[in-house]
Structure 1
Amino acid sequence: MKDTPMRRLAGILLLMGFLVALMVAFGALSPNPAVGAYPEGEHLDANYNAWVGEKAALWGTVVETDPLVIEDEYGAGKSVHVELTDTSIDVPLGDRIAVYGVVEPDHTIRVLNAYPIPATNYLYMYAVSFLAGLWVLTRLVRTWRLDTQTWALEPRPNPRSWTQHLRESLTESQGSPTESRGSPRESRSSSTESRDTPTEGDDA
């Protein structure tokens, strides 16, 4: 079968469609603690008594410290409050915490494992992700090129440096100043020739 750009595009769209379908299907699965798919705040809020005695995993914000109570937010403005027991973890008010434990009656979680999530973790995650993406993009531009006829990435025979790419981009956008203004010697030479050329009145 001949490989054409249209078939490649169709294959990419088909794979992306499968990816979206799998994401939707995974999100629609019901929790099953027996296989490690633990209920979260959304499931506890919908039918708390159905999960009593089962293990659950929650991520919430500390709203009370004595007793330790967290608020697990989900959806648009929805949340569930649960009290944490059997834990000595010390988390300040307003900080986030990850909890894994057993669901007990009266909106109580018997903690099996818990750890705080500092706000700096998110900043570190976003910064590292941005720098890693920038590094990958730089490597891609330097060592690969897009063939517009076959719509395929091909390795460059001579990898380009990042400074060379910026220099060429600036040159193309601004143009060559020498070509636009001309050489000073050429300007003086042309003016001299215009003065030396006799006019018809002088010949007469």
Structure 2
Amino acid sequence: MLESVKSRTAIVVILLLLLLSLFIWYGSLSPAPDKGRFPGNDELVEDYERYKGKKVEVGGEVIETDPVMIEVESGDMTIELKIADLQERPEKGDRLTVFGTAGGNNTIHSKNALIRSSWRYAYMYGISIVGAVWIGLRLIGQWRFDKENLAFEAREEPLTVLETLSHLKGSDSDG
């Protein structure tokens, strides 16, 4: 176990740098259909013609339902694509992810699609916030931070929810 503050700090910095490098590495991957990485929003918005006849995977907001049209974004550029051969019926405002073949006239011939209703994002973020607050209260109630050793220590007697809330307001000096 790492005992010194310097070694703990060094390990945290190394792990954070490793995490950051994974984001950079993932962002540098180019399309490789043989490895399951198909051209997506960025590639089609930049040069749709290059990918005609090839398998693609794109996602965007449904802007029309008859015919189904989605708006695909990449940075500050957008392109409108018609989705053909779609089995499902999305509603305007839904988020549609399509796997299919790029055809002429900005048309994607769908082989598979996933529809996510717009309300699901509000639910997802709302429930995530509730969960994060609950976990935060549990952590504060059962653990304390030792500033001298830069370590978390279990409380001898866990705080109740009310004690945790009053602790957050600064009325508790237990750390």
- Aligned residue type for 1:144: W
Tell me, in whole angstroms, the C-alpha distance in 1 between the residues paired with 2:96 and 2:61: 6
Aligned match of 2:12:
12
Give the 3-state SS of the residue equivalent to 1:97 in structure 2: strand
Q: Which has the higher strand share?
A: 2
Give the 3-state SS of the residue equivalent to 1:80 in structure 2: strand
Aligned match of 1:142:
141
The runs of 5 or more residues in structure 1 that have no matched partner are 174-204
Provide the TM-score with structure 2 as the length reference.
Answer: 0.86
% identity of equivalent residues: 31
Tell me, in whole angstroms, the C-alpha distance in 2 between the residues paired with 1:97 and 1:144: 43
Aligned match of 2:114:
115
Q: Whose radius of gyration is greater, 1 or 2?
A: 1
Q: 1:47 to 1:172 in 2, by over 3 A?
A: closer
Aligned match of 1:160:
159
Aligned match of 2:62:
62
State how 1:1-204 maps to structure 2 within 5 Å: 3-76=3-76, 78-167=77-166, 172=171
Tell me, in whole angstroms, the C-alpha distance in 2 between the residues paired with 1:102 and 1:12: 44
Q: Is the 8 A contact 2:93 2:117 kept in 1?
A: no
Q: 1:39 to 1:168 in 2, by over 3 A?
A: closer
Tell me, in whole angstroms, the C-alpha distance in 1 between the residues paired with 2:3 and 2:138: 27
Give the 3-state SS of the residue equivalent to 1:62 in structure 2: strand
Tell me, in whole angstroms, the C-alpha distance in 1 between the residues paired with 2:46 and 2:34: 20
Root mean square deviation, CA, Å = 2.3
Question: How far 1:168 sits from its partner (Å)?
Answer: 5.7
- Aligned residue type for 1:42: D
Q: Over residues 101-133 of structure 1, what are the superposed CA-to-partner deviations in whole Å (9 max), with x where a residue is unaligned?
A: 122233211101123221110011011111111
Compare 59-68 and 118-127 and name the one that shifted more: 59-68
Provide the TM-score with structure 1 as the length reference.
Answer: 0.75
Compare 48-57 and 102-111 and name the one that shifted more: 48-57
Q: Is the 8 A contact 1:84 1:110 kept in 2?
A: yes
- Aligned residue type for 1:31: P
Q: Is the 8 A contact 1:145 1:155 kept in 2?
A: yes
Runs of 4+ in 1 over 4 A off after TM superposition: 167-171
The runs of 5 or more residues in structure 2 that have no matched partner are none
Question: How far 1:79 sits from its partner (Å)?
Answer: 0.8
Give the 3-state SS of the residue equivalent to 2:110 in structure 1: strand
Q: Which has the higher helix share?
A: 1
Question: How far 1:169 sits from its partner (Å)?
Answer: 6.3
